Amino acid sequence: MKALFGKNRVCGVVAGETARQMKAQVGAGLRKTRTLELRLDYLRGAKERQAFLSWLGRTRPRAVLVATCRRVEGGGLFQGSRGEEIAILAEAVRSGCGWCDVEIETAKHFSRGELARALSPARVMVSHHDFRKTPRGLAGIIRRLERPGGQALKIAAQCNSVSDSVRVCELARKRRNVVAIPMGEFGLAGRILSLRMGSALAYAAVEQTTAPGQLSLDQMADLYRGGRITRRTGVYGVIGDPIGHSLSPLLHNTAFQTSKVDAVFVPFLVRNLREFLGAMKGFGVAGLSVTIPHKETILRLLDECDPLAARIGAVNTVVVRGGRLYGYNTDYVGVLRSLQERLRLAGSRVLLFGAGGAARAAAFALAQAGSMVCISARRAERARELARAVGGAAVERAGLKTEFFDAIVNCTPVGMHPCGGSPLESAELNCRIVMDMVYRPRETELLRLARRKGVATISGVEMFLAQGIAQYEIWTGKRAPENAMRRAVVSALSREEKSGGRRS
């Protein structure tokens, strides 16, 4: 069946204040896709709109162009009347736009067929935007969008849970003329996965974001390969809170692309774990990476668990088989691979700072390798409980300045991008090696303190790569393309360092 908007369902959003900015963005967008939305309401005044549309009429880019001049009433920036909006869109049609997006606040004032005649020969998309919530009656909204007689229907709604995101995306499952757009942090994964569920378009910003949670066109086209997503594409993801810092999508999407596996890996912001596990079936999720703060909590919600992960009491990897959830722990592998190349673990004395899910994996791994495991944590009772579980010892924070260890491992998120900071002071780093599980930034403040003190360091990148490689092999049953995965992550972190810590 022929796609409604042509072969490129990833739509680059062009939004600038001046004709010059818009022209530059059109050029940049066409390097990634052949479908562009032109936000004419972002142009500052009639003079800039006229200049841009005149240029557009002369150049006639070979692309599917969707003209939008959304009024303030419909969530846009245009302050003119309905009549002025339609007049601008009609001019855009004469300049080569094959589609016009008209918000329902304007479209509802036109009788069936009247809007199509006013904007002929372009086709019309009628849109509804809710920037506060995902409405309950989505089916009723679809019926209202149908009344003006457009060829495509668009619903964009703010999502306050992953369940909301699934509900929005499901509108596109049975109708080829629906554009489904989950908005906000909870809707980020759904913006990508809507393509898998049949959405006619997914929007991504060429330069300036125009809606909450909107991805950049570079991310949508290159990182997530949105243009190649079909209903057969496998779905994997990382769940956590926060989740924006994670490089897991880069790690695993690189692996899928290198190995030519038809799958996509997306980030899910998850606050209510039980709600997410119920909703994820709607997206067809086949596997998960689990990060803070869910590694321990998820154990109680699985159908089955690997014996080692059960002993550790934390899971960072989930596989879905026949609708059942199976848990594993690959942090265990990550810790061992990171430390054993630099330190003889048998007989060593290692301090773990922290007592959460990652610390539990490290404690069991090191104890199994013959290390004397010491635990120090903000909550002393948790430190004592974990120390008892591995036959180790709890150490009070106050005593760290007088203790010596072969290695100290930070198992807390302190120091993570973008917050920074160090969980320990220089005077507490009395050891041969300091390892930080935080991998972003590659050199944390803790590692800088250790290096200035002459202590050897191990970046969290090593553990991140090792555990991620093990995850990929569990999910796919294939050998991971380790070199490609390492190059992608190290390159991204290096670019970030050069840009002064800004996200790449």
Query: Would you please indicate which residues are annotated as catalytic (active-site) residues?
Result: 129, 154, 295, 331
List the structure tokens of 201.
């378009």
- Alpha-carbon gap, residue 74 to 372, rounded angstroms: 63
- Alpha-carbon gap, residue 357 to 414, rounded angstroms: 15
Per the listing, tokens 């330069």 go with 207
> What burial letters (b/e) apply to 221-253, b meaning 16+ CB within 10 Å?
bebbbbbebeeebbbbbbbbbbbebbbbbbbbb
Per the listing, tokens 């989930």 go with 318
Q: Are 116 and 149 in contact (CB under 8 A)?
A: yes
Q: Hey, CA dihedral for 389, 392, 396, 398, is it positive or negative?
A: negative
Strand partners, 234: 263
List the structure tokens of 220.
């949508």
- Alpha-carbon gap, residue 31 to 105, rounded angstroms: 34
Closest CA to 423 of 433, 436, 404: 436
- Alpha-carbon gap, residue 103 to 115, rounded angstroms: 12
- Alpha-carbon gap, residue 368 to 71, rounded angstroms: 64
Helices (H), 230-379: 248-258, 273-279, 307-312, 331-340, 357-368
